[in-house]
Amino acid sequence: MMGMAIFMFGMLGVAALLLSSINGSYFSGNASNAITLATSRLERLVYLDEGNADLTAGSHTDTTDPKYTVNWNVTSGVPMSNTRTVTVSVVWSVKGNNRTITLAGVAPEW
């Protein structure tokens, strides 16, 4: 009887670890997708022609993906003249809590 009780407590512990592992894997998958989206957008923005509307100074948003919102901010003349800083943030929600990945890059102004 005592052995069965110890076995049951052990199995409950294993079940809790399994749920924790599943949640961790779910978050990791979402974070990996967000990093891919942010990297792709940052690379695209850094190499756009100067006159493109996506490179005007200020904040921009793309909500074409139903799960992720991509925001970027363009700051001209930072960190030095003839450059622009592009900061890309990807936001998604997990169980009502917003998660964010942010990347930044500096590009020359042509």
Q: Which among 84, 87, 65, 64 has a CA at the least distance from the CA of 76?
A: 84
Class of domain 2-108: alpha beta
Interval 67-81: pLDDT, tens: 999 999 999 999 999
pLDDT for the residue 20: 80
pLDDT of residue 73: 97
How many whole angstroms separate alpha carbon 46 and alpha carbon 101? Answer: 18
- pLDDT reported for residue 90: 98
Q: Indicate the residue type of 98.
A: N
